[in-house]
A and B are shown apart, each in its own frame.
Chain A
Amino acid sequence: MRPTSVELIERIAEALDQSVLPAVGDDKWAASVVRSATTLLAHLAKRIPLEAPVLLADNEDAKSVLSGLALRLHDHSPGDEAAQELRSLGDAEPIPVYDAPALDTRDRLYQTAIERLLRSAHERAWTEDINAYVLGEIRQYLKRRMERERDIYFPAFTGPPF
């Protein structure tokens, strides 16, 4: 369908920047609204095509990490509650790539679980080896996650704040 969603967003941002912003003159408040709007539109232009595939890839990565940690924790202590919780997350039905809201909800579940694991490992819930392993796996995952999502937020949000 033409113009595409991204094309429309980019043209709207351009119109605001080139036709509206010069017209607001000394009105700082109006100029700020326009700048905020164009910044958010620049973000949306990236987010719309990238959000679902990034979430899908990240969910799969997080699921793999959590499943691996579940196995390791289970091996260490078969009754480990964290391991059981992680296994149930890993068993969840896959979500199709077109369903960004559902992918987002799943992402929040995974991130909550990851946070809990981080806190447990730092608070020495397990042996030194297990704690270090948990932290190592999660830190590597978080680096991959930041790399994956980078284009959605950079450089859109690196300019003037408003």
Chain B
Amino acid sequence: MNQQELSAYLSGKFDEPVAVTGLKQTFPGMSRETWLVETLRGKAGAQHGENLVVRVDPPGGSIVPVPLFFEWQVYERLNRTEIPVAQAYWYDGAPALSQGRPLFVRAMVEGVTYPPGLQADTAEAAERRKHVVLEYVEKIAIIHRLDWKSYGFGEIMPAPSSPEDAMRSELMRWWQIWDEIRTEPFPVITEALYWFLEHLPKRAAAVTLCKGQTGIGEEIWQDDKIVAFSDWELAHIGDPIQDLALSQGMLNMWDRQKILAHYESCAGFSLPLENIAYYSVWEVFNSMLTLNAGLRAFLSGRNRRLARATLGLGKVKVYEHLLGSILDMDVEEAAAFCIKRRPNPYHDKKVSGG
């Protein structure tokens, strides 16, 4: 992104002079480009600094098969609630600044996505992990307690008709997306989808707003407190246990039963714990789908980033084989198998505690 062009663009949008004084793209930015922008706004003599985040679709589109406009719509609604998120300013569908690729601009919230030292093998770090995970479940419970209907989330997301319908709705929604975006036939995955259908949990804990992509690496932390939830492209209405199960190791930070008991006291409903195992396997399929979706732009030449091939071909094969291995297993066996063998496709940071 060009600094001068960005200054001109922001000046136009804010209707006042904006000088971009610092510009950096975060790494790795596989789903979308995230640009951290330092600015001075206002006329000379009355300027103030403001840091912004510009989120842009990469060439060929995101690997996440969900439009950027959707994420903007989620932020816009979240900004009306008490859930801590950055202030979202605007969405632009086809600006020349980004060669016609959609973008949206939000305020930057200071903090870190990986609290440093959390994975150290010390008593102090272990105590920190306990407080961090309790902070996490308290904050995620705020999301799950939200009256999503009154804030209009039902206008932009399908909602299951009941807790009993939530898992089937989720499965069928993503099955349809998979059939649309996959790069070739995958009969092993077809078998796996029928496995999910056969092993659906009986009911969700509740029907709530879910973040969809959460845990260490996804939120903004200051002094071990969440100051903003970030990355809402996979937000949906469904089973809140999915957020906990897919929280990238958060449940391993301390005593799992105590973590979940604390969550239940914050959320105000009990958790069918057997659902956690199901979602641990579901995550493998969901990750595989996203990575294969990203391969499409590589195959067409619209995005030539080599990582799209290592992920969209290579990691997809690893996940395909993983799912192919669980077809004769029950849910608990399959979950244990997947948790042990499944690599995080985006980073190799150990969260800690297992």
Using CB atoms and an 8 Å cutoff, list the residues of chain A in contact with chain B.
Answer: 28-29, 32-33, 36-37, 39-40, 43, 108, 111-112, 114-115, 118-119, 122, 138-139, 142-143, 146, 150, 153-154, 156-158, 160-162
- Please name all residues of chain B whose beta carbon is closer than 8 Å to the beta carbon of A39 when the two chains form the complex: 310, 314
Cross-interface CB contact of A33 among B188, B306, B321, B324, cutoff 8 Å: B306
Known: A142-B324, A158-B318. A32 touches B307 (CB 8 A): yes
Partner of A138, one of B185, B187, B311, B344: B187
Q: In the complex, what residues of A have CB within 8 A of residue B30's CB?
A: 162
Question: Which residues from 266 to 318 on chain B have a C-beta closer than 8 Å to any C-beta of chain A?
Answer: 305-307, 309-311, 313-315, 317-318
Grouping DSSP codes into helix (H, G, I), strand (E, B) and loop, the B interface class, with mixed when no group exceeds half, is: helix
User: What residues of chain B have their CB less than 8 Å away from a CB belonging to chain A?
Assistant: 27-28, 30, 184-188, 190-191, 194, 305-307, 309-311, 313-315, 317-318, 320-321, 324, 327, 343-348
Q: Is the CB of B318 within 8 A of A157?
A: yes
Determine the distance from Cα of A161 to Cα of B294 in the docked complex, in whole angstroms. Answer: 14
Are the CB atoms of A28 and B309 closer together than 8 Å? no
Of all chain B residues, the one with the shortest Cβ separation from A135 is B191
Q: Would you call A153 and B318 a contact (CB within 8 A)?
A: yes
Q: Are B27 and A153 in contact (CB under 8 A)?
A: no
Question: From A28, which residue of chain B is reached at the shortest CB distance?
Answer: B27
Taking A36-B305, A157-B314, A160-B348 as given, write out 18 further A-B residue pairs in contact, using a Cβ cutoff of 8 Å, ordered by the A residue number: A32-B28, A36-B307, A111-B185, A111-B187, A112-B185, A114-B185, A115-B186, A118-B190, A122-B194, A142-B188, A153-B314, A153-B321, A157-B313, A157-B317, A161-B307, A161-B315, A161-B344, A162-B306
Some 13 contacts from A to B, beta carbons below 8 A apart, are: A33-B306, A36-B305, A39-B310, A108-B184, A114-B185, A115-B186, A115-B190, A142-B324, A157-B318, A161-B307, A161-B346, A161-B347, A162-B310
Residues of A within 8 A of B318 (CB): 153-154, 157-158
Complex Cα distance A143/B185, Å? 16
Q: Are B311 and A111 in contact (CB under 8 A)?
A: no
Report chain B residues within 8 Å CB of A37: 306
Closest to B30 in A: A162
Asked if A40 and B191 sit within 8 Å, CB to CB, the answer is no
Q: How far is the CA of A162 from the CA of B306 in the complex (A)?
A: 8
- Chain A residues lying within 8 Å of B347, measured Cβ to Cβ, are 161
Q: In the complex, what distance in Å separates the CA atom of A20 from the CA atom of B190?
A: 41
Q: Kindly list chain A residues whose C-beta atoms are within 8 Å of the C-beta of B343.
A: 158, 161
